[in-house]
A and B are shown apart, each in its own frame.
Chain A
Amino acid sequence: MTLSTLLGSIELGLIFAILSLGLFIAFRILDLPDLTVDGSFVTGLAYSAVWSVAKNPYMGIFMGSMGGMLAGIVTGILHTKLKIHAILAGILTMTGLYSINLFVMGDKPSVFFYGEKTVFTPFEGKFYISGVDIGKLILLFIIVLILTILLRIFLMTQVGLSLRATGDNEAMVRSSSINTDAMKILGFAVCNLIVAFSGAVYAQYNMTATHGMGTGMLVLGLASIIIGETVIGKRGMLRHLFAIVIGAIIYRIMLTIAFGLGLPAIYLKLFSAVIVVVAISIPLIKPTIVRWRKIHAGN
């Protein structure tokens, strides 16, 4: 692996670290895997692309994030007010978003904007490590750092505590006079806002938006979260958030290595799914081995 491919995978890792941090809110804090992300990621892509074409990349990031937030609110309302199962609510919103995203992209399956100004433009061509431009890397690093700190602070606020308690012990939260429905809607909204934000950044990173990009984003996010937790651990909130960022980067580097070893690109999603299964089962394998040894000790 050359330096530039390594840095490239770290850049992508950081973009998907944003996505994973968003998913963390739904999956770990609220304990509800939110399938809306497969759609809201594309919402981010779509707005980002059309606004970049219109020469306003910052507006693209903003509008994309807001679009994602709205999608999250819809899923939240479907789940809490209409009592639809969280996963089905996510699928419904995601399915609806398929059309909306296409509409935003002007009925085109992809939007290209090579050469247009993006949020990365001011950082490009200024910083180099042995001839490799690290401008994008620096910007992404700053974004992830700020997001991690903001999330950490948010989860310490009173609203953040209520959100965490809602996922931890819902009955207790209701008896402490907090509206759990509102908390869940908020959780879905924040989750999808961040996911769409990562989509918006990703579009400008690639200078393309493809309508079919969203498939498997939930699994990708889960993979990053679980890999990070397995490698770094999850004791303490800051450590947990940090673990997710590292997990996303590790996942991306693994993918790059797999492609380098000749894995055809069509196996990308299969690879993600297998990684999730393996990462989930690792903590289960260890006690089994320990138990086997205990039973067979002395034989």
Chain B
Amino acid sequence: MLEIKNVNVIFNKDTVNEKRALRDLSLILNDGDFATVIGSNGAGKSTMLNVIAGNIEVESGKIYNNGLDITYMKEHKRARFIGRLYQDPLKGTAPHMTIEENMGLAYSRGKRVRFGLGVRRSDREYFKSVCAKLGLGLEHRLKNEVGGLSGGQRQALTLLMATMETPELLLLDEHTAALDPKTSKKIMEITDRIVSENHITTLMITHNIRDALDYGNKTIVMNNGGILTILEGEERKSMTVSDVMKLYSGTDAILSDKMILGN
């Protein structure tokens, strides 16, 4: 269970560019929840993920993962139980290392440092079988450098690496946005399969409202550093893309009024 309590994040504090990126944000995700996150630019979606992953520190508030206070835990320590994908397919893999070497690194996540070989023979068989499940032919290219793969293949590999050792929490930051529509759909399907097979608690940011409603069991609508509403159950099922667009436009009106009145 992920619990975020009254988190505030302020960028460029005490300067003219001061921006409150998150305002008293609170959120609870139950085990196995697959929540999609939508909201206009600057709503705080990525900031929320960064705060959970640990590369942005909170101004105030608390974050708990399965009851453990991780608010000030270092990024690489959290990575033991948090898997993460970025929008940029180049970010999640080491280009000058082979597929199996990349997977070997990911496979060791959360385990103690061992001094044996990074990729063992038994590992290789396992890597082959998980790659084969993707259906992208990566299983025949284990010894190729990752730099030679396409964006979609790299993103699929990153997804595999992030979930090979089942994480307690999976953070997806528009991980299909940089891909072509067909590949994007394929990666979304793979994501959905992996997440539901392993019951991974997941937060997925997307700008595709259709995807936001189709995948997962909750949709979090964010605005101005806070959560506007959380759609779930029957209400969510009956929602159409244009309904969500109306939610958006409503917020824009509030936003502009606020701006005119000086908050």
Q: Is residue B94 contacting chain A, with contact meaning CB distance below 8 A?
A: yes
Q: Are A164 and B108 in contact (CB under 8 A)?
A: no
8 Å CB interface, A90-124 against B: none
Assuming the A-B contacts A158-B115, A158-B117, are A177 and B94 also in contact, with contact meaning beta carbons closer than 8 angstroms in the complex? Answer: no
Closest chain A CB from B54 CB (angstroms): 9
Assuming the A-B contacts A174-B75, A176-B109, are A156 and B96 also in contact, with contact meaning beta carbons closer than 8 angstroms in the complex? Answer: no
Q: In the complex the two chains form, what is the Cα distance from A159 to B108 in whole Å?
A: 10
User: Which of B34-42, B58-66, B97-105, B232-240 forms contacts with chain A?
Assistant: B97-105
Give the residues in chain A near B84, CB-CB below 8 Å: 175
Q: Is residue A150 contacting chain B, with contact meaning CB distance below 8 A?
A: no
Q: Are B105 and A176 in contact (CB under 8 A)?
A: yes
Give the residues in chain B near A168, CB-CB below 8 Å: 94-97
Assuming the A-B contacts A175-B53, A176-B106, are A161 and B101 also in contact, with contact meaning beta carbons closer than 8 angstroms in the complex? Answer: yes
Q: Are A169 and B93 in contact (CB under 8 A)?
A: yes
Give the residues in chain A near B79, CB-CB below 8 Å: 174-178
Q: Is residue B199 contacting chain A, with contact meaning CB distance below 8 A?
A: no
Closest chain A CB from B97 CB (angstroms): 6
Q: Is residue A162 contacting chain B, with contact meaning CB distance below 8 A?
A: yes
Q: Are A165 and B94 in contact (CB under 8 A)?
A: yes
Q: Is residue A215 contacting chain B, with contact meaning CB distance below 8 A?
A: no
Q: Are B118 and A160 in contact (CB under 8 A)?
A: yes
Assuming the A-B contacts A162-B105, A172-B94, are A177 and B76 also in contact, with contact meaning beta carbons closer than 8 angstroms in the complex? Answer: yes
Closest chain A CB from B109 CB (angstroms): 5
Q: In the complex the two chains form, what is the Cα distance from A180 to B77 in whole Å?
A: 11
Give the residues in chain B near A175, CB-CB below 8 Å: 53, 75-76, 79, 82-84, 92
- B104 (CB) vs chain A CBs: closest residue: A161
Instruction: Among A158, A162, A173, A180, point to the contact of B116 (Cβ < 8 A).
Output: A158
Q: In the complex the two chains form, what is the Cα distance from A169 to B161 in whole Å?
A: 15
- A161 (CB) vs chain B CBs: closest residue: B118
- B74 (CB) vs chain A CBs: closest residue: A179
Q: Are A164 and B76 in contact (CB under 8 A)?
A: no
Q: In the complex the two chains form, what is the Cα distance from A120 to B95 in whole Å?
A: 43
Q: Are A158 and B118 in contact (CB under 8 A)?
A: yes
Give the residues in chain B near A157, CB-CB below 8 Å: 115-118
Assuming the A-B contacts A168-B94, A169-B91, A171-B91, are A177 and B117 also in contact, with contact meaning beta carbons closer than 8 angstroms in the complex? Answer: no
Q: Are B93 and A156 in contact (CB under 8 A)?
A: no
Q: Is residue B259 contacting chain A, with contact meaning CB distance below 8 A?
A: no
Query: A272-288 toward B: CB 8 Å interface, digit per residue (1/0)?
Result: 00000000000000000
Closest chain B CB from A141 CB (angstroms): 27
Query: B152-187 toward A: CB 8 Å interface, digit per residue (1/0)?
Result: 000000000100000000000000000000000000
Q: Are B117 and A174 in contact (CB under 8 A)?
A: no
Q: Is residue B121 contacting chain A, with contact meaning CB distance below 8 A?
A: no
Q: In the complex the two chains form, what is the Cα distance from A69 to B14 in whole Å?
A: 44
Instruction: Among B76, B90, B96, B110, point to the contact of A180 (Cβ < 8 A).
Output: B76
Give the residues in chain B near A174, CB-CB below 8 Å: 75-76, 79
Q: Are B109 and A177 in contact (CB under 8 A)?
A: yes
Question: Could you list some 20 contacts between A and B, CB below 8 A?
Answer: A156-B118, A157-B115, A158-B116, A161-B97, A161-B104, A162-B105, A164-B101, A168-B94, A168-B96, A169-B94, A172-B91, A173-B94, A175-B75, A175-B82, A175-B84, A176-B79, A176-B108, A177-B80, A177-B110, A179-B76
Contacts A162-B105, A174-B75, A179-B76 given; 6 further ones with Cβ under 8 A? A158-B113, A158-B114, A161-B119, A164-B94, A165-B102, A169-B90
